[in-house]
Structure 1
Amino acid sequence: MSADDDDDTDAFALDFFAWDSFSTRLDGIDALPAAPAPFASRDVLAAARDLGTSAATIVSGNGKTRQGIGAIDVDWSKSVAQLLATPDPAERIEHLRAHGLLAQVKALGDAMREAGVVDAAVRLLLDEDDMVSVAAADVIRHCTCANQGSRIRAREAGAIPHLVRMLTRVADAECPAERAASVVTAAVAALRNLSFQNGANRDLIRDSGGLEPLLRIVASGPRVAGQPPAPPAASDFKRREAAYRAAGALENLAADNEENAAAIVDAGVVPAMRELLIGVGRTALSNKVLAECQ
Structure 2
Amino acid sequence: MTTPGTRYLVAWGGDKRSEDALKLGAVLARTFEAKLDIVYVVFQQTNGFTVTAGDRTFEQEVGREAAGWLKTAAKSVGEGIEVETHVVYGESITQGILAAAEQLGSQAIVIGAGSGAGQPVAANAIVGGLLHSSPVPIAMAPRNYRKVKFDSLSSLSAAIGPRPGAHQVAIEAADAIKRVGLPLQLISLVSLKQDRQFHVDGFDEAERVLADAAKRVGDRAEVTTVVGQGRSLKQAVKKIDWDERTALCVGSSRLAQNRRTFLGSAATRMLSSLPVPMIVVPRRDA
Question: Do both share a fold (TM > 0.5)?
Answer: no
Which protein is bigger by CA-based radius of gyration? 1
TM class by shorter chain equals under 0.3
Question: Could you tell me the TM-score, scaled by structure 1's length?
Answer: 0.25
Question: Could you tell me the TM-score, scaled by structure 2's length?
Answer: 0.25
Q: Which structure is higher in strand share?
A: 2
